[in-house]
Amino acid sequence: MTSLTLRTDHPNLRALQTVRFHILISLMLSSQTKDPVTSQAVTNLHLRLPLGLTATSLAGADPEVISECINKVGFWRRKTEYIQAAAKAILQGGLDEGEVVPDGWEESGLEGVEVEQGDVPRTLGGLCKLKGVGPKMAFLVLQCAWNM
Confidence at 10, pLDDT banded by 50, 70, 90: very low
CA distance 65 to 86: 16
pLDDT digits (tens, 9 = 90+) for 27-83: 999 999 999 999 999 999 999 999 899 999 999 999 999 999 999 999 999 999 999
Residues designated catalytic = 136
Query: CA-CA distances (angstroms) from residue 70 to 27, 29, 37, 50?
Result: 13, 8, 9, 16
pTM of the predicted structure, to 2 decimals: 0.83
Q: What residues have CB less than 8 Å from 8, skipping those under 6 apart?
A: 109, 110, 112, 113
Closest residue by Cα to residue 36 from 3, 72, 81, 66: 72
d(CA 26, CA 62): 19
Q: What is the mean pLDDT of residues 75-99?
A: 95
- Report the pLDDT value the prediction gives residue 117, as an integer from 0 to 100: 75
